[in-house]
Amino acid sequence: MKRRTIKASVAAMSIAMALGGASAYAFDDVSSKEQLSLLDSLRSKGIVSGVTNQLFHPDQRLTEAQGIQMIVNAYDLDDQANEEANAEAARWYDGAVSAATAHGLSIPEQFDANNSLTREVFAQLLYEGLNTTGTYPTILRYNFIADGDKINKNYESSIQTLLNMNIVSLNEKDEFRPDEELTRMEAAEMVFNALEVVDRYGNGGGSAEQPGTDIPGSGQQAYVPEVTSQTVDEKTIKVKLSMELPNPGYGLEIKKVELGKDGKAIIKYQIIQPDPDKMYPQVITERTAETNIPSGYTPLVEPFS
């Protein structure tokens, strides 16, 4: 499958917004700073828009046309075969519906632009859209859903996967509420979470022709291990590097340690690539590596080159 590059990093955009202070895109009817930052990021990329320049109407129901347009915008889907016809389309959502259909998304059979989208239908469309950008690692875990008997059997697997990827969530009663109408804010949050997965794993990682042979993202710099340390004795500190990697074929190795005069111990790590002749399940796997440094040094990590 060919991977398409999402135009900009959601995470990077969010950080930039946060550092930049008050946003020019702020909506007057959204009070949560976290939600405002999220909407700033999506709005600046043309993924969502307000009902007016100042109002988002976060609790308003999401229509089928709005939801499909949001997903098409998020994943940068297009329909080049019908580009000319779409440009002349009379209805604002025709191009989005055409693009979604061209990419295999399950548009409701009885599509009505003004109908409300349910949570389960939007989740299914979001998952199908995510799959157009690549194959992503996830843990294999079955989540208990209190109202799981209400979920359409065709959507169960997608919703379980989205839960494991932290793209969607359950409420305090462990309910997904599949048949409830989705609000505009809920949809924006799901889309934002999905794009964070794309950002983190570099549009699905390596190519389909050579599965699992490349670290997702821009080389090893895309993955930074978590560092923990423990005092062994008065002269020695044990340092442990931990990292979640896309599948069991990857490994983590410490290549060398450089002790600087400034009291910093630079630990050079390397991600071991999977065997290109083997296939691995796309299951997130933790890898660790340990080394000792002298007491008094502060451990820092850098990719080995």
Same domain, 44 and 179: yes
* Cα 2 from Cα 209, distance rounded (Å): 10
pLDDT > 80? residue 13? no
Span of 57-61, 158-162, 275-279 with lowest mean pLDDT: 275-279
Same domain, 54 and 197: yes
pLDDT (tens digit per residue) in 15-67: 333 333 444 557 888 988 989 999 998 998 899 988 888 899 999 999 999 99
pLDDT at 6: 54
pTM higher than 0.75, yes or no?
A: no
Q: What is the mean pLDDT of the chain?
A: 83
Residue 3 domain flag: no
pLDDT at 238: 96
Span of 47-56, 79-88, 243-252, 253-262 with lowest mean pLDDT: 79-88
Please provide residue 48's backbone torsions phi and psi, each rounded to the nearest 5 degrees. Answer: -125, 160
Residue 72 and residue 100 in contact, taking contact as beta carbons nearer than 8 Å: yes
pLDDT at 223: 62
Same domain, 52 and 147: yes
Strand, helix or coil at 18? helix
Cβ atoms < 10 Å from Cβ of 286: 10
- Containing domain of residue 261, as a range? 226-303
pLDDT (tens digit per residue) in 63-98: 999 999 999 999 999 877 666 555 566 798 999 999
Query: Domain total for the chain?
Result: 2
Half-sphere exposure of 207 (CA within 13 A, CB side): 3
Q: Which two tokens stand for residue 125?
A: 């469309």
Same domain, 166 and 277: no
How does residue 240 score in pLDDT terms, banded at 50, 70 and 90?
A: very high
Same domain, 118 and 169: yes
Residue 257 and residue 292 in contact, taking contact as beta carbons nearer than 8 Å: no
pLDDT at 297: 95
* Cα 226 from Cα 244, distance rounded (Å): 9
Same domain, 249 and 174: no
* Cα 291 from Cα 100, distance rounded (Å): 50
Span of 75-84, 200-209, 265-274 with lowest mean pLDDT: 200-209
Residue 171 domain flag: yes
Q: Which residue has the higher pLDDT, 125 or 198?
A: 125
Q: Which residue has the higher pLDDT, 117 or 79?
A: 117
Q: What is the DSSP letter of 151?
A: S
pLDDT at 201: 77
* Cα 274 from Cα 299, distance rounded (Å): 27
* Cα 212 from Cα 278, distance rounded (Å): 9
* Segment holding 272, helix H or strand E: strand 264-272
pLDDT at 19: 33
